[in-house]
Amino acid sequence: MTAPPLAVFGGTFDPVHIGHLRAAWEAAEALGAEVRLVPAKIPPHRPQPVASPEQRVAMLRAALAGQERLRLDLRELDRPGPSFTFDTLTSLRGEVGSTRPLVLVIGADAFAGLAGWHRWRELFTLAHVCVLTRPAQIPAMPDELAAEVAARHAGGVEALCAAPAGRVLDMVVSALGISATRIRALLAEGREPRWLVPQALLDDPRLLAAYRPPATGSGRG
Ligand code: ATP
């Protein structure tokens, strides 16, 4: 019998929020997989994060405390240069061997941009891709990505478990219209993102400090 899949959920996590965590949790359950949350140091395909890698890791550690299914994987922070998913999957494939299913878990918005990623076609030789629904503006898939995916559709989780890589599975997860962009905006306005982020991020005032407006003087002499 083959080992259960190892799944990878990358992102900037600037900050990590309930939308990430619930989606990753549901993917972990549906795939019967351990999921690694892999924060990017230098995301190559989007603006740079507001919080430092260390701050984002501190938030992830606080968010993930108390459970084992979603784990933190810091390999992208240990690598110099842009955090290419190709390099991350190559490194994980080296660890798990050639037969264990490896699954790149990704939101539908991010997946639509896959054809702009470094060595994107080769990602399918390294891993399966599990595309999660997200209640957000999803850009249209370019023709070259649609063509690549067309022959790779998996009917279900079994197809992913039966091969090490190469299939694409669409997965419906709870529709949580939460984004890190919105949370950063709330904090910049001095508002509290209660129930959009794990309580642990609110309990320690240092954790979300990078997004709050700079403190002004009290005005007292
Ligand atoms: P930002 O608003 O800064 O762009 P984000 O909320 O999209 O951030 P990322 O860290 O960029 O978060 O996302 C990492 C991964 O999580 C991506 O694959 C993204 O599609 C997915 N994701 C983020 N939020 C959700 C959500 N609410 N539901 C499902 N997937 C999500």
- Express each pLDDT in 67-87 by its tens digit: 999 999 999 999 999 999 999
Check the CA dihedral 127-133-136-140 and report its sign.
Answer: positive
Rounded CA-CA distance 102/53 in Å is 25
pLDDT in the model for residue 47: 87
| Ligand 1 residue neighbourhood (C-beta within 6 Å) | 11-14, 19-20, 23, 106-107, 109-110, 132, 134, 176, 178-181
Decide: residue 141, CB within 10 A, 0-12 exposed, 13-18 middle, 19+ buried: middle
Q: 111 CA distance to ligand 1 centroid (A)?
A: 11
pLDDT band at 43 (very low <50, low <70, confident <90, very high): confident
Q: Which of 9-18, 38-47, 117-126 has the lowest mean pLDDT?
A: 38-47
Would you state the structure tokens that stand for residue 54, as one six-digit string? 């260390």
Question: How does residue 15 score in pLDDT terms, banded at 50, 70 and 90?
Answer: very high
pLDDT score of 218: 55
Six-digit token string for 105: 């878990």
- Is the distance from CB of 196 to CB of 17 less than 8 angstroms? yes
Token readout for 127 is: 């891993």
Q: Tell me the pLDDT band of 45, cut-offs 50, 70 and 90.
A: confident
Answer yes or no: is pLDDT of 221 > 50.
Answer: no
Per-chain mean pLDDT for the chain = 95
pLDDT of 203 above 80:
yes
In terms of Cα–Cα distance, which of 135, 38, 26 is closest to 86?
Answer: 38
- Give the residue whose CA is nearest to atom 9 of ligand 1: 11
What digits encode the pLDDT tens for the residues 48-68? 999 999 999 999 999 999 999
The pLDDT of residue 54: 96
E-assigned strands of 13-101? 34-39, 70-72
Residues β-bridged to residue 10: 38
Residue 198 has pLDDT above 90, yes or no: yes
C-alpha 4 to ligand 1 mean position (Å) = 25
Mutational pocket test of ligand 1: of 8, 9, 17, 20, the residue with most ligand atoms within 8 Å of the beta carbon: 20
β partners of residue 103 = 7, 128
* CATH superfamily ID and name for 6-207: HUPs (3.40.50.620)
Indicate if the pLDDT at residue 161 is higher than 70: yes
Give pairs for 78-83: CB < 8 Å, separation 24+. Answer: 79/41, 81/42, 82/42, 82/43, 82/44, 82/118, 83/10, 83/40, 83/41, 83/42, 83/43, 83/44
User: Partners of 153 in the beta sheet?
Assistant: 168
Instruction: Give pLDDT, residue 7.
Output: 98
What is the spatial distance between Cα 125 and Cα 111, in angstroms, rounded to a whole number? 16
Q: Is 121 left (phi over 0), alpha (psi -120 to 50) or beta?
A: alpha
Please state, for a pLDDT cut of 70, what percent of the chain lies above it: 96
**How much of the chain, in percent, has pLDDT values that exceed 90?**
91
Give residue limits of the domains in the chain. 6-207
Average pLDDT over residues 173-188: 98
Residue 4 has pLDDT above 80, yes or no: yes
CA–CA dist 134, 112 (Å, integer): 12
The residue whose C-alpha atom lies closest to atom 6 belonging to ligand 1 is: 179
